[in-house]
A and B are shown apart, each in its own frame.
Chain A
Amino acid sequence: MAEQRLADELKRNEEPLLPVEKKLIGWSLIAGVILLGVLIWISYTFFPA
């Protein structure tokens, strides 16, 4: 029964994305892409192989 309830619970969609969640996702991705460029530059400039 508990397993059935778990499956039901996972099927439901009652929580729309809040603006703060959208911000979290957006800023995380933006920071990730910007940092990617910065860190690659630092790596190859200051820590060459």
Chain B
Amino acid sequence: MTTAQAAKGVSEDWLSVWIGLAIFVLCLGPLVGADVLGWGVTTAVWTDPSKALAPVSKAYGGLSGVGSLIVTYVVLLVLLTGGATLLRARVGKFIGGFTVVFWASYLCWIIGSWAYIAATSDRLKAFGISWSLSLTAEAGFLVALIAGLAVGNLFPRVTAAIKEATRPEWYIKTAIVLLGGFLGITAAERLGLATSVMFRGLCAIIEAYLIYWAVVYFVARKWFGLSREWAAPLASGISICGVSAAIATAGAIKARPIVPIMISSLVVVFSCVELLILPFLAQTFLYTEPMVAGGWMGLAVKTDGAAVASGAITDSLIRAKALTMQGVSYQEGWIVGTTTTVKVFIDMFIGVWAFILAVIWTTAIERRPGERANRRQIWERFPKFVIGYVVTFLIVLCIGVSAPGLTSKAKAAMGEANVFRGIFFVMTFFTIGVMSNFRKLWDEGLGKLAGIYLLCLFGFIIWVGLLVSWLFFHGIKPPVMPG
């Protein structure tokens, strides 16, 4: 949390932890026989739009699909408006903005769930259709991204009107807290594999920090002649974890506020480009190595939102292709789980890296009297939503491992949590698109920074990330679904 954020109110980081945990706890209701959130809306792949929506739990079978969507909207509106109040956002504008974001995002999800777009090859007969793009229901995320891009680049008045609710980082961090529980129950069933994936994820990101950052910093300083003030945050932004890393590094080296702001706008735009390209590359070339693809998304795509979103898309695209090409049905969640593991480890080390840079800058590069880096900076830079992710992961993992009899109920509970995770995901995609204003980037004269970003990202980071991911994850396969 930055000082500016602290002055404004609670940080999005902490808020995502509390909101995520609140939803998570309520979702645990089925474990004790209380179905509290079963009214949450789910979207099925459809040919008849009237059958697209339904409540997630059969206990709420009397509620219509549209009714469950309205209830979901109202509850989330109340919950997030409370959060926006704590953020000291303009509540009236937030309510209006959130309403647009929610309905536009959900409409995109419904469109993306149309059978001709989403149905996998094994279900074409069931839907009575002869072809489909086989993108699975997660195609709705891409539809949301494209719709968001259209709004962000073509409708500046709408973009300004919904600005208060255009908060992709908040939405994705809340989704990641909820994702922890889902991955926890997935990991409980294959503990050995989950441990291996987590350790390798940790190894992969150590490599990313040491190799990525040094090369990008060198290119920016030596080849493009950037000053240290621009080169260090840019190197962190391109190589580590986008916006958070650029801000943390800028703080560590005492750069002017304009520097991370400019770099962050680059990061968001390029993340959006990666999000549109890399999952399809992964589907084409890595469907035989699904976990490599998952790790690759975590190492190559910047910003938490775009990375985990890419992992989710890759998860569905690769499972669909593996089913079509190999007849193998991989269990859902392992690919996006690998992406999330890598991304969470990357986030956890941002504080440490910022601390190391602060020490080097204050002791060797820009020595200023009386200035010393301190350990508190590590905690200040630590992404707090990671705590929520770890807590939900461990709670569900412990339930799954210590009480196998409760596994089916825990799965049902996490199924309900998944409904809300999906909604936060699709709102993340839409708002990432809204924030990605390509024209503004060029208007601000950031061509040189964009050139470095383009060169390093597409000429180096993506491919080294692929190599590192392949070295650590090749040969590891997600569990195969029976039958």
Contact = CB atoms under 8 A, between A and B. Distances in A.
Decide whether A and B assemble into one complex: yes
Contacts, number: 93
Interface in A2-46: 3-4, 6-7, 9-15, 17-18, 20-21, 24-26, 28-29, 31-33, 35-36, 39-40, 42-43, 46
Interface of B: 193, 195-196, 199-200, 203, 206-207, 209-211, 213-215, 217-218, 221-222, 225-228, 230, 258, 262, 360, 364-365, 443-449, 468, 471-472, 475-477
Nearest to A33: B211
Nearest to A30: B210
Contact of B226 (A10, A35, A36, A49): A10
Given A4-B445, A47-B196, A39 B206 contact: yes
Given A25-B217, A48-B196, A35 B472 contact: no
A25 B218 contact: yes
A15 B228 contact: yes
Nearest to A37: B471
B445 A6 contact: yes
Contacts of A46: 199
Contacts of A20: 360, 364-365
A39 B203 contact: yes
B471 A40 contact: yes
B258 to A, nearest CB: 7
A25 B472 CA distance: 24
Contacts of A35: 206-207, 210
A8 B211 CA distance: 30
Contacts of B228: 15, 21
A40 B471 CA distance: 7
Given A15-B228, A32-B210, A40-B472, A6 B444 contact: yes
A24 B360 contact: yes
A3 B218 CA distance: 25
B339 to A, nearest CB: 17
Residue among B213, B214, B227 facing the most chain A CB atoms (10 A cut-off)? B214
Chain A interface SS verdict (over half):
helix
B449 A10 contact: yes
- Identify the 8 closest CB pairs spanning chains A and B, nearest first: A13-B225, A32-B210, A7-B445, A28-B214, A39-B203, A49-B476, A32-B211, A20-B364
19 contacts: A3-B443, A11-B448, A15-B228, A17-B222, A18-B365, A20-B360, A24-B217, A25-B217, A25-B218, A28-B214, A29-B214, A33-B211, A35-B207, A36-B211, A36-B471, A39-B472, A42-B203, A43-B200, A49-B196
B365 A21 contact: yes
Given A20-B364, A29-B215, A35-B207, A12 B472 contact: no
Contacts of B214: 24-26, 28-29, 32
Given A15-B227, A21-B228, A40-B471, A6 B258 contact: yes
A43 B365 contact: no
Contact of B262 (A6, A12, A18, A26): A6
B443 A47 contact: no
Contacts of B471: 36, 40
Contacts of A24: 214, 217, 360
Contact of A39 (B196, B207, B213, B445): B207
Contacts of A36: 207, 211, 468, 471
Contacts of A28: 210-211, 213-214
Contact of B221 (A7, A21, A32): A21
Contacts of A25: 214-215, 217-218
Given A20-B364, A25-B217, 19 more contacts: A6-B258, A7-B447, A9-B227, A10-B449, A21-B217, A24-B217, A28-B213, A29-B214, A31-B210, A32-B214, A35-B207, A35-B210, A36-B207, A39-B203, A40-B203, A47-B199, A48-B196, A49-B475, A49-B477
B198 to A, nearest CB: 9
A31 to B, nearest CB: 5
A42 B218 CA distance: 30
A26 B209 CA distance: 13
A25 B258 CA distance: 25
B211 A29 contact: yes
B135 to A, nearest CB: 28
B396 to A, nearest CB: 22
A13 B196 CA distance: 46
Given A21-B221, A31-B210, A49 B445 contact: no
A40 B144 CA distance: 39
B221 to A, nearest CB: 6
Nearest to B364: A20
B199 A12 contact: no
Residue among A4, A12, A31 facing the most chain B CB atoms (10 A cut-off)? A31
